[in-house]
Amino acid sequence: MRRLAMLSFHTSPLAQPGTGDGGGMNVYVRELATALARTGVSCDVFTRSCGPGLPPVVDVEPGLRVHHVPAGPAAPVAREGLLGLVGEFTERVLELMAGDAGSPLVDQDAGLFEAVHANYWLSGVAGHAIKHELDLPLVSTFHTLDRVKAELVPEEVEADMPSRRAEVEASVIACSDAVLASCSVEADQIVQLYGADPARISVVAPGVDHAFFAPGFRPQARRALGLPPDGTVLLTVGRIQPLKGMDVSVRTLGALCADGERAVGAPFRLVIVGGPSGPHGDEEHARLLRLARALGVEDRVSLVPPQPHELLSTYYRAADVCLVPSRSESFGLVALEAAACGTPVVASAVGGLTTLVDDGRTGFLVDRADPDAFARCVRRLAAEPLLAERQSTAAVLRARRYTWRRAAADLRAIHDDLLTGRLVECS
């Protein structure tokens, strides 16, 4: 494969993760496209232009370009209005793929587009149409699935998009030549909930940039962030929305402060890095503040705005424990980044987190979003330094399995196989 069109309709890989619609998917698209470009695959990423004055094309690095595609207003649009803009986006992407001179799919350096990779269900709608228009193989990554969310967080489904989303996901899955899952759990969900053909599902785990996310000296990281040198620092990273369960982190801190300090002998603190996201984001942010006040831990909670991705490593290194209390998680990039920095993770036993955290060895898995259960795990790590050190070392070793270069190699092999076969036809 020499050239790939990647679709990221609703959020740009250049946007700041942790706020608005920006999150793990932004990191995934940018890092995977970067890794592919460095193997010689020319990647053009197409995203909706959601702000005034954005350049039409950004040359990120050799072989990687991001196109800001006009579709609807040059401003953020509520999620319920995005589906109506996909048609215009698709038409503009087709025009861009054809080139300014109108010569079909030709680029002076990279040649023809050979495949389309759609990220998230809205991009899948565009990718589905582009596949049939240009007779190109379609690879789809969904990142989250409507029917999974419907089981675990039904209120998010109602606010997120009309019920049609699940039907659209099913149709895109049925017509995709390959569907990428981040882990075996997600692969099983796609088969069980959408009736997908297992032969067309490939597990391609995301990676982590080990140049940034690596162990470091905790006291120095705390000094850099202005955190007290003593005590136990808990860290939660992500968009502030009900799905991420950050109220569990605050309640965990409350449980620890109620009786844990007497056993450990040092204060507990909680740092939350992220910004409001989704239709309930601002409400959730305010609720976290009220909850901290009600539990008497307001002075122990630091709410930090979203940080540039590469700077997050300092927060991971400063923390003793990373809490990931998500109610649903297709993979759990935060858990992987924390592990790469040598920070033990205490996470909900959901989705991809069950494949990332080796319970009792690299961290702990909690069966449900129970603050007392989270607190027991944190208390044990704080009281047993040797256990924390062993988990830190094991976490780093486990995280080394995950690299973006490996993900790019796996994806490239999938695309190469697709180029020699027949395209899947819509049923």
Sheet holding 321-324, edge to edge: 301-304, 268-273, 232-237, 321-324, 345-348, 363-366
For residues 236-272, one letter each, b for 16 or more C-beta atoms within 10 angstroms of the residue's C-beta and e for the rest, the string is bbbbbbbbbbbbbbbbbbbbbbeebbeebeeebbbbb
* Cα 377 to Cα 357: distance, rounded to the nearest angstrom: 13
Positions in the chain whose pLDDT score sits under 70? 17-22, 100-110, 152-163, 259-266, 427
Output phi, psi for 11, to 5 deg: -155, 140
Q: Give me the chain's average pLDDT, please.
A: 90
- 3-state SS assignment for residue 101: coil
**Helix 24-38 and helix 333-340, axial crossing angle in degrees, nearest 10:** 70
What's the CATH fold of domain 218-399? Rossmann fold (3.40.50)
- In the chain, helix, strand, coil percent, each to 5? 45, 15, 35
Give 97-144 pLDDT, tens digit per residue: 987 544 444 555 667 899 999 999 999 999 999 999 999 999 999 999
Which residue in this structure is represented by tokens 């490239």? 412
Q: Which structure tokens are listed for 95?
A: 């025009």
Which pLDDT value is given to residue 426? 83
Give 324-379 pLDDT, tens digit per residue: 999 888 889 999 999 999 999 999 999 999 999 999 999 999 987 899 999 999 99
Which pLDDT value is given to residue 241? 87
Q: Which CATH number fits domain 3-207+404-419: 3.40.190.80, 3.40.50.2000, 3.40.630.10, 3.40.50.300?
A: 3.40.50.2000
Do the bridges between strand 321-324 and strand 3-7 make them parallel or antiparallel, or are there none, so unpaired?
unpaired
Cβ atoms 67, 113 nearer than 8 A: no
Which pLDDT value is given to residue 98? 84
What pairs with residue 17 in β-bridges? Answer: none
Output phi, psi for 267, to 5 deg: -70, 155
Which pLDDT value is given to residue 103? 45
Residues spanned by CATH 3.40.50.2000 within the chain?
A: 3-207+404-419, 218-399
This prediction has a pTM of: 0.91
* Cα 346 to Cα 251: distance, rounded to the nearest angstrom: 14
Which pLDDT value is given to residue 261? 53
| Cβ neighbours, 10 Å, residue 385 | 10
Output phi, psi for 47, to 5 deg: -135, 150
